[in-house]
Amino acid sequence: MGVEVHGDRASITLRGEGVSWIQVRWRGDLRAVRRYLGDHWERSYGDLEWRGEAPNRAMPWYFMAHDGAATHGYGVRTGAGAFVFWMADSEGISLWADVRSGGVPVELEDRTLHVADVVCREGQTGESAFAATRAFCRQMCPAPRLPKAPIYGTNDWNYAYGNNSAELIAGVSGLISELSPDPDNRPYSLIDEGWAIGPYNGTFGHGPWEGNPRFGDMGAFADRLKGLGVRPGIWFRPLTPLPDSPASWRLSRDESYLDPTIPEVKDHVTAHMRRFVEWGYEMVKHDFTTYDLLGRWGVEMGASPTKDGWRLHDSSQTNAEVLSDLYAVIREAAGEALLIGCNTVGHLAAGTHEIQRTGDDTSGRSWNRNRRMGVNTLAFRAAQHNAFFAVDPDIVAITKVIPWELNEQWLRLVAESGTALFVAVEPGVVEPKHREALQRALALAATPQTLGEPLDWMETLCPRRWRLLEKEVEFAWMGESGASPFAD
């Protein structure tokens, strides 16, 4: 292993065989640090927070350290060659790098692995912790791929949950188009799971990737959506096999998924992505690649993104390199279409994806989930917005179930935050009060806004006080019953 200093960064490299993990330790006196903030491996799960010293806490990719006077950043640049996390205590900091391929040591042979570029930023007295975090995110990602205009529109998942149809989506798309006044930056209509031929029955994302009888010709439907004044988008799960996919394409860890190190699997993904673009879709949301490859959700990973003992077809690449390579394949095939990554690793997707779903699902059925997942991810990952990619905190769902007095606040927060806004509107629910709020929110979301800043995020996982549109705003998230320990 080698560590070389190049100006404002330190490069970590590895040669040799039989290595699964690397640790680099910097000793120092951190007793002055009062609070630490870490990131997540992929999406967050309502659990991002500033905490006191927790020596065993694994903080993926980067962390911020606040000493009462300034906030300092320590991390690795985006596009690392390994899954990297940090640990911090009063006597120093440790970087750990998972250089496994599947669940075994990577087989480098004569190759030198560029593990990561370590960067740090000294905080400035007088800047807020949020401003420091945002500046450090920009430092970690020297070449983001950003959309040319703010991202907003509709996504059907949080009211349809896979039971969607062309008629259902066309109706909501027409409403969103009508309520979106900006003539230059038109809204997107993102068709989520449920459009393809494959069975739904509680399992997500199975092809064949052709329109089912509820949708018919997907190219013709893309044209129909454009005629309604919206930009068509489509959802795809790249690593699920088709009924006729050869057994040799399957992942050794779980044959329910495809192995992306196999060239024919990459060709399979490329062919589907190109067909979506040829049909006329201007945005593709791809999903589940981290779980399908590694077998764990981010919330389950801790210090180990996958279990030991299993092999990929090509063991010469680390898991981080495999995912980055897959993202590059998807990026090239997408052409000029925008990419949204969901269940993708943000630190690896930055630079190839314009948009990132940064938190676990919000809901059209449970307000508790919106408060827990949505508000938390927006507060603690907004600093990544237009530094890594455009941040999508997930859907604001207007349904019969979600109380409007709470949902109206969630809609306002996202719309005024400057991040991406997607709404799900259950047919038959919209009243004049909803139309008025939606029209205002869509108008705001269509144009660049000053990034919203959480003001009490060091004291809570669910910030109430925000600076939005240059004004301080306070929300009431809990409702009459407060949080539920049993809700999802």
How confident is the model over 14-60, as pLDDT tens digits? 999 999 999 999 999 999 999 999 999 999 999 999 999 999 999 99
Q: Do 86 and 165 share a domain, yes or no?
A: no
The sign of the torsion formed by the CA atoms of 214, 217, 222, 228 equals: negative
- Tokens of residue 287, six digits: 């999903």
- Tokens of residue 223, six digits: 């044209």
Cα–Cα distances in Å, from 258 out to 41, 199, 210, 252, 311? 21, 18, 19, 9, 13
Task: Note whether residue 438 is domain-resident.
Answer: yes
Average pLDDT along the chain: 97
Per-residue pLDDT at 351: 98
Per-residue pLDDT at 148: 98
Rounded to whole angstroms, how far apart are CA atoms 312 and 26?
Answer: 33
Q: Do 278 and 157 share a domain, yes or no?
A: yes
Task: Note whether residue 24 is domain-resident.
Answer: yes
Q: Do 117 and 169 share a domain, yes or no?
A: no
9 pLDDT band, cuts 50/70/90, is confident
Average pLDDT over residues 446-463: 98
Cβ pair 452, 468 in contact under 8 A: yes
Cβ pair 428, 181 in contact under 8 A: no
Average pLDDT over residues 230-248: 97
Total domains in the fold of the chain:
2
Percent of the chain with pLDDT strictly greater than 90: 94
Rg over CA atoms, the chain: 22
Cβ pair 83, 98 in contact under 8 A: yes
Q: Do 381 and 340 share a domain, yes or no?
A: yes
Q: Do 10 and 60 share a domain, yes or no?
A: yes
The residue among 323, 334, 322, 219 whose CA lies nearest residue 272 is 334
Average pLDDT over residues 230-255: 97
pTM, entire model: 0.97
| Final residue before a domain boundary, out of 79, 113, 140 | 140
SS3 265: helix
Per-residue pLDDT at 4: 85
Whether the ω angle into residue 241 lies within 30 degrees of 0, i.e. cis, is no
Q: Is the pLDDT of residue 69 over 70?
A: yes
Average pLDDT over residues 72-80: 98
Cα–Cα distances in Å, from 31 out to 72, 75, 88, 90, 381? 14, 20, 11, 5, 26
Task: Note whether residue 484 is domain-resident.
Answer: no
Q: Do 116 and 156 share a domain, yes or no?
A: no
Q: Is the pLDDT of residue 202 over 70?
A: no
Q: Is the pLDDT of residue 93 over 70?
A: yes
203 pLDDT band, cuts 50/70/90, is low
Q: Is the pLDDT of residue 204 over 80?
A: no
Cβ pair 420, 150 in contact under 8 A: yes
Q: Do 221 and 166 share a domain, yes or no?
A: yes
Alpha helices in 256-403 (DSSP H): 263-279, 289-294, 298-301, 319-334, 346-349, 367-369, 376-381
Average pLDDT over residues 203-218: 92
Per-residue pLDDT at 348: 99
Task: Note whether residue 379 is domain-resident.
Answer: yes
| Final residue before a domain boundary, out of 109, 140, 171 | 140
Cβ-proximal residues to 460 (8 Å cutoff; 6+ apart), any chain: none
Task: Note whether residue 85 is domain-resident.
Answer: yes
Q: Do 69 and 37 share a domain, yes or no?
A: yes
The residue among 197, 182, 186, 189 whose CA lies nearest residue 168 is 189
The residue among 451, 454, 481, 477 whose CA lies nearest residue 372 is 477
Domain that holds residue 347: 152-452
Cβ pair 179, 438 in contact under 8 A: yes
Per-residue pLDDT at 52: 98
Q: Do 99 and 217 share a domain, yes or no?
A: no
Provide the CATH number for the domain around residue 275: 3.20.20.70
Rounded to whole angstroms, how far apart are CA atoms 275 and 355?
Answer: 21
70 pLDDT band, cuts 50/70/90, is very high
Q: Do 349 and 405 share a domain, yes or no?
A: yes
Task: Note whether residue 293 is domain-resident.
Answer: yes
Rounded to whole angstroms, how far apart are CA atoms 288 and 254?
Answer: 14
Q: Do 43 and 170 share a domain, yes or no?
A: no
Average pLDDT over residues 170-174: 98
Task: Note whether residue 466 is domain-resident.
Answer: no
Q: Is the pLDDT of residue 200 over 70?
A: no
**For 451, how many CA atoms within 13 A lie in the half-sphere containing its CB?**
19
Exposed / middle / buried, residue 440 (Cβ in 10 Å: 0-12, 13-18, 19+): middle
| Final residue before a domain boundary, out of 96, 115, 140 | 140
Q: Do 161 and 120 share a domain, yes or no?
A: no
Task: Note whether residue 483 is domain-resident.
Answer: no
Rounded to whole angstroms, how far apart are CA atoms 445 and 150?
Answer: 7
Per-residue pLDDT at 373: 97
DSSP character at residue 297: -
